Amino acid sequence: MIPSSDTLSRVDFAEPVRSRLRVTFHGVRGSRPTPKASHLKFGGNTTCLEIRSGEHRLLIDAGTGIVGAADTGVREQVDLLITHFHWDHIHGLPFFAPLFDPDSRLTVFTGHPADLAMSTLEQQMTGLYSPALEFAAAAREYVQIDRHAFSRGDMSIRPFPLHHPQGAWGYRIETNGAAIVHASDVEHGDATLDAVLREYAEGADVLIYDAQYTEEEYLSKRGWGHSTWLEATRVARDAGVKQLVLFHHDPLHDDETMQGIVNRARRHFESTDAAREGTTITI
């Protein structure tokens, strides 16, 4: 049902939408952008993805990938889910074209009180950092989330907490019997939150999971807030998901390394791919 990475293609946003649910990857890299030829098969922009049902779109995170997300027609109403405020998940926002469109409305959902979310995100667009905020013409609203489900369009969104320094949120997004789960950034090892993750991932059509490290790399990265491709396959298997998509790629992992990780992961969970910038998965 879900194509492999060899058959994923760049989406034509001019074509009519016939699918129930689809996810497009605008940024797949963790920590920092990697605009190098050796990395561009999988992508060099930091995290941002778009989930679309019918004509309604959600964006998750505002890394540098959000700049290209504006090309998809996201304009009048922009719903942005933020996993957390670490730099690689927000540093594309000052360059997001709809923010400067007076006909646009940006609604930002975070796990923090509205005034804190506003000051945190908009501070990077003030003072010596950037003059962007004085030109931001879009109406802006900040909404605090918790573990209660909410809806946007015909999509039901179920947030859940993740194990990560200063905290982060995952999302299960459902419509018409289809489900996509986004879990980045997350580190395994907290028994309670590991169980929560598996609960929310149960039976998902697509699980997008933080697999920044190899098992060997993780030995020196414990406590940094990220997981491994091997743990990703365990979660996928335990939760009975249909497709696993590795995400939040390490900036040191070039295309050859990434393909090797995919090949190794498929030996443990056959229906595995790595997210590639500019590609779309349709359910």
Distance CA 96, CA 102 (A): 13
Residue 250 CB contacts under 8 Å (≥ 6 apart), including other chains: 30, 31, 212, 213, 217
142 pLDDT above the threshold of 80 = yes
Q: What percent of the chain has pLDDT over 90?
A: 89
| pLDDT value of position 76 | 80
Cα diameter, the chain: 52
Distance CA 257, CA 279 (A): 19
Whether this model's pTM surpasses 0.85: yes
**Rounded to 5 degrees, what are φ and ψ at 37?**
-55, -35
Class of the CATH-defined domain 22-144+154-282: alpha beta
228 pLDDT above the threshold of 80 = yes
- Per the omega criterion (within 30 degrees of 0), is the bond before 185 cis? yes
| Secondary structure (3-state) at 49 | strand
Mean pLDDT across 31-57: 96
Distance CA 270, CA 264 (A): 10
Token pair of 153 as six digits: 């369009």
What mean pLDDT is reported for the chain?
92
Comparing 40-54, 72-86, 105-119, the range with the smallest average pLDDT is 72-86
| pLDDT value of position 75 | 65
How many residues does the structure list for the chain? 283
Mean pLDDT across 37-49: 98
12 pLDDT above the threshold of 70 = no
Task: Name the E strands within the chain.
Answer: 22-27, 48-53, 56-60, 77-81, 105-110, 139-144, 150-152, 155-162, 168-175, 178-183, 206-210, 243-247, 272-274, 280-282
CB 90 within 8 A of CB 75: no
Distance CA 193, CA 85 (A): 20
| pLDDT value of position 55 | 84
19 pLDDT above the threshold of 60 = no
Mean pLDDT across 82-90: 97
Which strands, in side-by-side order, build the sheet including 280-282?
Answer: 139-144, 105-110, 77-81, 56-60, 48-53, 22-27, 280-282
Mean pLDDT across 265-271: 98
Where in the chain are the domains? 22-144+154-282
CB 24 within 8 A of CB 280: yes
Distance CA 16, CA 181 (A): 25
List, for residues 174-224, the tens digit of each pLDDT value. 999 999 999 999 999 999 999 999 999 999 999 999 999 999 999 999 999
- In the chain, the N- to C-terminal Cα span, in Å, equals 7
Burial class (CB in 10 A: 0-12, 13-18, 19+), 177: exposed
| pLDDT value of position 3 | 37
| pLDDT value of position 73 | 63
* Partner residues linked to 108 by β-bridges: 80, 142
Task: Pick the closest to residue 240 from 205, 196, 189 (CA basis).
Answer: 205
Mean pLDDT across 235-258: 98
